[in-house]
Structure 1
Amino acid sequence: MSRRTKDLFYWSLGFVCGIALLVQVQNHLYSNYRVDGKSMDPTLQEGNRLIVTKAGFDERDIEHFDIIVFHKTKQEDYVKRVIGLPGDEITYRNGSLYINQQYIEESYISETAHLRTGLGQANSFTLKTLMGVEKVPKGMLFVLGDNRNMSYDSRHFGFVPIDSVVGKVNMRYWPLTEWQADF
C-alpha cells in the first residue's frame, strides 16, 4: 500500500469511528431537542435548542420542577415541568399551586404571564377532579407547561409514566443570546 492510500485509510477509519462515537453519545449520554410550540413560555420559547441528559438517569433523579423531555407517543416527544411526583397531592386554586397542601411560589412563571393567561377559578383543579385519584400514582408524574393556558399537559393527557422520560433538560444552547445551563 502506498503512503497516500494508508493515510486515506486511517483518516477514513478515524472519521467513521468519530461518527460512531458521536452516535453512541447521543443515544446513551445526551440528546439534542428542539422546542416545538409555546407551552413552556416564558421559560423556553419555540425553536430553542436544548441538551437533555440521559446518562445515569433514573426515577430517583427526578425532582419537583425539573424540566424533562418524555416520549408522549412513539413519534413525539414533549418538554414539560414536573409538578407532581408519586404520592403527591396536587391542587391548583385561584391561580395558585399547592403540592401536598403547601403553597408553591412559581417564580418561573412571570407575573405578566399570570395576568395574561387569566389563571383563576375557571382553571382550578385537583387530581380528583381531573383524574379521579387523589395522589400521583406510583411510577407516574404530573407535568404542566409553564404557559398554563396554552399547554397540552397532564391536565389533558393524564399522568406521564416515569419510564417514558428521556431525560432532564440541563442546557439551552440556541439561540446563543439565551444560552442557559441552570434548569
Structure 2
Amino acid sequence: MTSKKRSWTDWLKLIIILLLILLIVRMFTFNPLIVEGPSMQPTLMNDDRIIVDKISLLFKEPERFDIVVFHTTSRKNYIKRIIGLPGETIEYKDDILYVNNKQVDEPFITSVKDQLPLNARYTTNFTLLEDIPGGYNKVPDGHVFVLGDNRPNSTDSRRLGYIPTNQITGIARFTYWPLNEFGLIK
C-alpha cells in the first residue's frame, strides 16, 4: 500500500512541477492572444488567435513594422504596428509615409489602398508636431509611434500619442487560428 501511495504522490509532484514550468514559460516567453476589433485589418482580423513573443524584447529593441502588443491602461492591451522609432520624424502626406523626409513603402496595406476610389486617402495627412499629442517634432527617446493597419478605424498614436517602449509586452509572430491564416505574421 505504501508503494501505491508513494507512486501517487510522485505523480502529483511531477504534475505540479510541469504546471509550474509551463506557467513560467508562458509568462516569460510566449503568450496566446485573441485580436479584438478591426484596427489591424487586413493583416489581423477580429478574433484571430496569435502567439506573442515576449522573449525577443529581452535581447533587442522592437523594429519598424513589428506588430507589437502594449499596455495603455492596466486593463487594456492594444496591438499595433510600429511606424516610427526614437529620434525619427514621421509624416503622412497624400497617402505616403515619410520617415526622416524619405518615402517608405508599406506593403502590408497596398492591397487595401489599391481598392480605393481615385483620389481617396487611406491615411489622413499628419505631422508629429502639428497633429500628434505631446508637441514633439521627433519620436521621443524611449518611445515608438504606432499605427493600426486599418488606418480609418484605429485608435493608435494619432490619438494615444507616443508609446513608451517599456509598455510593449511582446511582438506578434504567429497566427494559429483560423487555420486558413496559420503561419508567420508579416
Answer whether TM exceeds 0.5 for this pair: yes
Deviates further, 126-135 or 51-60: 51-60
**Is 1:49 aligned to residue 49 of structure 2?**
yes
Deviates further, 144-153 or 103-112: 103-112
Aligned ranges 1:1-183 → 2 under 5 Å: 2-58=2-58, 60-113=60-113, 115-116=115-116, 118-119=120-121, 123-131=124-132, 132-183=135-186
Give the unaligned 5+ runs of structure 1.
none
What CA distance in whole angstroms lies between the structure 2 residues aligned with 1:32 and 1:181?
A: 14
State the identity as a percent.
36
Deviates further, 91-100 or 47-56: 47-56
What CA distance in whole angstroms lies between the structure 2 residues aligned with 1:152 and 1:59?
A: 28
Kindly indicate whether the alpha-carbon contact (under 8 Å) linking 1:42 and 1:110 is maintained by their aligned counterparts in 2: no
Structure 1 segments of 4+ aligned residues over 6 angstroms from their partners: none
Kindly indicate whether the alpha-carbon contact (under 8 Å) linking 2:40 and 2:149 is maintained by their aligned counterparts in 1: yes
CA gap 1:177/1:151 in 2 versus in 1, 3 angstroms: same
Corresponding letter in the other structure for 1:2: T
Aligned CA-pair RMSD: 1.9
Kindly indicate whether the alpha-carbon contact (under 8 Å) linking 1:59 and 1:162 is maintained by their aligned counterparts in 2: no
User: Once the 2 structures are TM-superposed, how far is the Cα of residue 3 of structure 1 from its aligned partner?
Assistant: 2.6
Kindly indicate whether the alpha-carbon contact (under 8 Å) linking 2:42 and 2:112 is maintained by their aligned counterparts in 1: no
Secondary structure at the counterpart of residue 17 of structure 2: helix
Secondary structure at the counterpart of residue 170 of structure 1: strand
Number of aligned residue pairs: give it.
Answer: 182
TM-score w.r.t. the length of structure 2 is 0.90
